Chain A
Amino acid sequence: MKTFLNSAKVPLIAFVVLWVLGIFVNFSFNSYIQLILIYIMINMILAMSLNLVNGYTGQFSLGHAGFMASGAYTSAYLSTVIPMPAGAMQLPYFFALALAGGLVASVAGLLVGLPSLRLKGDYLAIVTLGFGEIIRVTLLNTDAVGGARGMYGIVGPTDWSLAGIPISRFMGGFTHALIWVLVCFFTIWRIIRSAHGRAFLSVREDEVAAESMGINTTRAKVLAFVLSSFFAGVAGAIFAHYANYLNPSSFTFMRSVDAVIMVVLGGMGSLSGSLLAAIFITVIPEALRPIQEMTGYDLRMVIYSLSLVLLMILRPQGLFGKYEITEALPWLQKFFKKSKATATTDGGAS
């Protein structure tokens, strides 16, 4: 029990703080801003999970959209089979659907990973890219999930009230997404700081040496890949139920590229970097809309691309490199240190 409290303390504090922030957004901003916030969170999960493969394990996957699609369609399809319960049971319902979506995606990850992770670098990128396209084209041709028309009217969080207090659709979706963002963050954060994570890192650094030191590198790579696809599937499920609409064209190659951009921009091997990059990549195109309205030209993508080029020239290692924000801000690290159980020998933050 004591260890459970210790392990759940920081995530719970983070949840409460961010949830209060969500209430603020709920009352202060319109549904457009709220939607962007949800998309930021979905992108955060995508970026963090891809970072596990591309950043920490040093493999190059370009098929993240495929895993996201598997999760999204699984969850959406299940919601047509199992009707949504009312009120308070909504959250566990969507949580369970996302879990199912994640599990299906991780099975897909296992099936792709086992044969293809023997390949390295560009070759692996091509194989994963191909896989992502296979998933998309399969969905495009499966009538049970709408084919090219996509799926309409997918159930999502609704407005309801708890003892007279109205709870909005946004708060339902936000709470659900927030839980998964935190689960994803703390899972990866803690795995990386365990023996499993050290195996991932050693594969990135030198596969031959890792193997000689007794690391089953195939297992490490597949584990990272499966975990990464799981969270991509979860992100897909959250997306499906908040957008209420799915179409295979949402999961094109460009979606995978977006995820890679977020990882590289934030820093390969930095979760804080992924979080920041997810915000940046989601917000910039939206924030540039007024410029389009003023000039009449669609300069958004030009500015967006230019800012990426500039960032990569000025900071090729990404915003954070391989470091976390706790390492840049010592007082934050102190906070983490205080609230954790491990003894003095622990080198990194919790």
Chain B
Amino acid sequence: MSTPLLEARSITMQFGGLKAVDSLQFQIQKGELMGLIGPNGAGKTTVFNMLTGVYQPTQGDVIFDGQSIKGKKPWQVSHLGMTRTFQNIRLFKELSVLENVLVASNQQIEYGFFSPLLKTKKFLDQEVALRKEALELLRIFHLEGKANDEASSLPYGEQRKLEIIRALATKPKLICLDEPAAGMNHNETHALMETIAKIRKDFHLTVLLIEHDMKLVMGICERIVVLDHGVKIEEGTPEKIQASKKVIEAYLGTDEDLQGSSSTTGGH
């Protein structure tokens, strides 16, 4: 097996007395579409935050593309080629759709501070090229007609889409999608599945997906890691996950729970 694109080496995240994630270990191969699922509060988003540099793991290390991301800030991680979307949409609301995409392509600029003041050729050329590229990206997702609209004026589904487009504009190797189908209806979820499949194919991306929508996860993920209470309880193909007793227990509870031996639920 080739070296993985991303490797989490027993990462642990401790908030005071709470271990949100405990010695989690997994790998993502280049080109793979992997899902990360788990009941509410399982620590999925915490894992994302550790991977992208928002949190520093209390223990363990994350190796991305051969480099440790320990001590790296989110923007540095983004420069390495790992980017993300957010569970609750975080667009630059008052900027235009085009500007949202342009911000993400900032890391490509080569001109310095004084170039825009003097409007040097380098500055003008690069700006034109970046805009062209951004518009092209919007065109692929049929948003070019709204390039100059304010981002907050887009309907919900398109805002989700714009978040993905914006993430793509950073030219990532790995894109982490945090519940992209949250709040979407059946049709929108279906369109989203197609979008994800498409970006993966067209942009040669590796995708890590957190999702609640089982249909979406089982439909497109090749491999799934299941998290419960910060611990990995299962890993494998969708078929294996669906059949796994541990996973069913994590989501639906055990037989003892059903027999009502205790009235309390939640954490043990």
Contact = CB atoms under 8 A, between A and B. Distances in A.
Interface of A: 3-4, 6-7, 186-187, 190-191, 193-199, 201-202, 205-206, 208-217, 223, 322, 341-343, 345-347
Contacts of A206: 90-93
Task: Tell me whether chain B's interface is mostly helix, strand or loop, or mixed.
Answer: helix
B119 A341 contact: yes
Contacts of A191: 113, 116-117
Given A186-B117, A187-B117, A214 B92 contact: no
13 contacts: A186-B117, A194-B116, A202-B95, A202-B103, A205-B92, A211-B78, A212-B52, A212-B54, A212-B78, A214-B83, A215-B75, A343-B128, A346-B131
A6 B119 contact: yes
A4 B118 contact: yes
The 6 closest A-B pairs by CB, nearest first: A194-B116, A214-B78, A205-B92, A7-B119, A209-B90, A211-B74
Contacts of B84: 212
Contact of A205 (B94, B123, B127): B94
B109 interface: yes
Nearest to A216: B75
Contacts of A209: 86, 90-92
A194 B127 contact: yes
Interface of A is mostly: helix
B166 interface: yes
Candidate in B119, B148, B169 with the most chain A CB atoms within 10 angstroms: B119
B267 to A, nearest CB: 28
Given A208-B86, A347-B98, 19 more contacts: A186-B117, A190-B116, A191-B113, A195-B111, A195-B130, A198-B103, A206-B91, A212-B75, A212-B78, A213-B83, A214-B107, A215-B106, A216-B73, A223-B113, A341-B119, A341-B124, A345-B128, A345-B132, A347-B147
A211 B78 CA distance: 8
B170 interface: yes
A199 B103 contact: yes
Contact of B113 (A196, A210, A216, A346): A196
Contact of B75 (A186, A217, A341): A217
B120 to A, nearest CB: 6
Interface string B63-90: 0000000000111001100011010001
A214 B128 contact: no
Contacts of A4: 118
Contact of B170 (A186, A194, A208, A213): A213
B99 interface: yes
B253 to A, nearest CB: 35
Contacts, number: 126
Given A3-B119, A213-B170, A214-B79, A208 B90 contact: yes
A211 B170 CA distance: 12
A210 B104 CA distance: 8
A210 B119 contact: no
Contacts of B117: 7, 186-187, 190-191
Q: What band does the interface of chain B fall in when counting residues whose beta carbon is under 8 Å from A?
A: 35 or more
B95 A199 contact: no
A195 B135 CA distance: 16
Interface in B132-157: 132, 135, 147-148
Given A202-B103, A342-B127, A214 B75 contact: yes
B119 A347 contact: no
B96 A202 contact: no
Contacts of A187: 117
Nearest to A192: B116
Contacts of A201: 92, 95, 99, 103
Contacts of A6: 119
A189 to B, nearest CB: 10
Contact of B166 (A197, A213, A341, A346): A213
B186 to A, nearest CB: 28
A4 B95 CA distance: 30
B102 interface: yes
A217 B93 CA distance: 17
A208 B92 CA distance: 10
Nearest to A6: B119
Contact of B94 (A198, A213, A322, A342): A322
Nearest to A186: B117
Contacts of A197: 116
A138 B117 CA distance: 35
Contact of A3 (B75, B93, B106, B124): B124
A208 B89 CA distance: 11
A177 to B, nearest CB: 20
Contacts of B91: 205-206, 209
